[in-house]
Amino acid sequence: MRKLLPLPLIVLILLISCVYAQKISQAKLVGTWVLNKNQINYPIIIFENKEAIFKSRGDTIYRFNYSVRGQELILTDINKNVSKAIIVNLSKDTLIFRSLLENKEEQHYLRKRK
Protein backbone atom coordinates (compact mmCIF):
# COMPACT_ATOMS: atom_id res chain seq x y z
CA MET A 1 0.00 0.00 0.00
CA ARG A 2 2.87 2.41 0.75
CA LYS A 3 4.26 2.04 -2.79
CA LEU A 4 1.03 3.41 -4.29
CA LEU A 5 0.98 6.58 -2.19
CA PRO A 6 3.51 8.56 -4.29
CA LEU A 7 1.58 8.04 -7.55
CA PRO A 8 -1.64 9.74 -6.34
CA LEU A 9 0.47 12.51 -4.85
CA ILE A 10 2.22 13.06 -8.19
CA VAL A 11 -1.12 13.13 -10.01
CA LEU A 12 -2.47 15.66 -7.52
CA ILE A 13 0.56 17.92 -7.97
CA LEU A 14 0.19 17.78 -11.76
CA LEU A 15 -3.50 18.64 -11.56
CA ILE A 16 -2.87 21.57 -9.25
CA SER A 17 -0.13 22.93 -11.53
CA CYS A 18 -2.50 22.83 -14.51
CA VAL A 19 -5.23 24.64 -12.61
CA TYR A 20 -2.85 27.39 -11.51
CA ALA A 21 -1.39 28.12 -14.94
CA GLN A 22 -0.29 31.68 -15.59
CA LYS A 23 -3.32 33.98 -15.52
CA ILE A 24 -2.96 36.99 -17.76
CA SER A 25 -4.36 40.36 -16.78
CA GLN A 26 -5.59 42.62 -19.54
CA ALA A 27 -3.60 45.52 -18.09
CA LYS A 28 -0.31 43.67 -18.70
CA LEU A 29 -1.02 43.58 -22.44
CA VAL A 30 -1.49 47.34 -22.82
CA GLY A 31 1.21 48.77 -25.06
CA THR A 32 2.80 48.29 -28.47
CA TRP A 33 4.15 44.88 -29.46
CA VAL A 34 6.45 44.20 -32.44
CA LEU A 35 6.77 40.79 -34.11
CA ASN A 36 10.32 39.39 -34.05
CA LYS A 37 10.27 38.19 -37.67
CA ASN A 38 9.44 39.55 -41.11
CA GLN A 39 5.78 38.79 -41.76
CA ILE A 40 3.07 40.64 -43.68
CA ASN A 41 0.23 40.09 -41.22
CA TYR A 42 0.28 41.74 -37.81
CA PRO A 43 3.92 42.81 -37.39
CA ILE A 44 2.62 45.38 -34.90
CA ILE A 45 -0.14 45.00 -32.34
CA ILE A 46 -1.27 47.84 -30.10
CA PHE A 47 -3.31 46.93 -27.04
CA GLU A 48 -5.24 49.77 -25.47
CA ASN A 49 -7.66 49.42 -22.55
CA LYS A 50 -10.41 47.63 -24.50
CA GLU A 51 -9.29 47.82 -28.12
CA ALA A 52 -6.58 45.92 -29.99
CA ILE A 53 -5.19 47.38 -33.21
CA PHE A 54 -3.45 44.94 -35.56
CA LYS A 55 -1.34 46.56 -38.28
CA SER A 56 -0.19 44.91 -41.49
CA ARG A 57 2.77 45.78 -43.73
CA GLY A 58 0.38 47.30 -46.29
CA ASP A 59 -2.09 49.96 -45.36
CA THR A 60 -4.54 47.64 -43.61
CA ILE A 61 -5.45 48.10 -39.96
CA TYR A 62 -7.66 45.64 -38.08
CA ARG A 63 -9.50 46.71 -34.93
CA PHE A 64 -10.89 44.36 -32.32
CA ASN A 65 -12.46 44.63 -28.91
CA TYR A 66 -10.58 42.22 -26.69
CA SER A 67 -10.67 40.51 -23.34
CA VAL A 68 -8.55 37.96 -21.57
CA ARG A 69 -9.80 34.82 -19.85
CA GLY A 70 -7.07 32.78 -18.16
CA GLN A 71 -4.43 32.44 -20.88
CA GLU A 72 -6.83 33.05 -23.74
CA LEU A 73 -7.02 36.28 -25.73
CA ILE A 74 -10.53 36.78 -27.09
CA LEU A 75 -10.87 39.12 -30.07
CA THR A 76 -14.23 40.41 -31.32
CA ASP A 77 -14.41 42.28 -34.63
CA ILE A 78 -16.95 44.89 -35.72
CA ASN A 79 -19.23 42.14 -37.09
CA LYS A 80 -19.19 40.34 -33.71
CA ASN A 81 -17.00 37.50 -35.08
CA VAL A 82 -14.94 36.02 -32.26
CA SER A 83 -11.38 34.68 -32.55
CA LYS A 84 -9.32 33.19 -29.75
CA ALA A 85 -5.57 32.88 -29.25
CA ILE A 86 -3.68 31.12 -26.47
CA ILE A 87 -1.03 33.24 -24.78
CA VAL A 88 1.90 30.91 -24.13
CA ASN A 89 3.98 33.49 -22.30
CA LEU A 90 3.67 37.09 -21.21
CA SER A 91 6.43 38.97 -19.44
CA LYS A 92 7.13 42.69 -19.28
CA ASP A 93 9.06 42.45 -22.58
CA THR A 94 7.77 39.32 -24.37
CA LEU A 95 4.39 38.14 -25.65
CA ILE A 96 4.09 34.71 -27.28
CA PHE A 97 0.93 33.32 -28.89
CA ARG A 98 0.53 29.63 -29.73
CA SER A 99 -1.05 30.84 -32.97
CA LEU A 100 -2.74 34.08 -33.95
CA LEU A 101 -5.68 34.29 -36.34
CA GLU A 102 -4.57 32.72 -39.66
CA ASN A 103 -0.91 32.45 -38.53
CA LYS A 104 -0.80 28.91 -37.20
CA GLU A 105 2.77 28.85 -35.87
CA GLU A 106 3.91 30.54 -32.67
CA GLN A 107 4.05 34.32 -32.86
CA HIS A 108 6.77 36.02 -30.74
CA TYR A 109 6.38 39.72 -29.98
CA LEU A 110 8.64 42.15 -28.14
CA ARG A 111 7.31 45.19 -26.30
CA LYS A 112 8.25 48.43 -28.04
CA ARG A 113 9.87 50.96 -25.75
CA LYS A 114 8.70 54.56 -25.98
Count of C-beta atoms within a 10 Å radius of residue 64:
21
Question: Which residues sit opposite 44 in a β-bridge?
Answer: 34, 55
Residue 34 confidence (pLDDT): 94
Residue 1 confidence (pLDDT): 47
Q: What are the pLDDT tens digits along the chain (114 aa)?
A: 445 556 665 655 554 555 445 678 888 899 999 998 887 788 899 999 899 999 988 788 999 999 999 999 999 999 999 999 999 999 999 999 988 888 888 889 999 987
Question: CA separation (Å) from 37 to 43, 44, 110?
Answer: 8, 11, 10
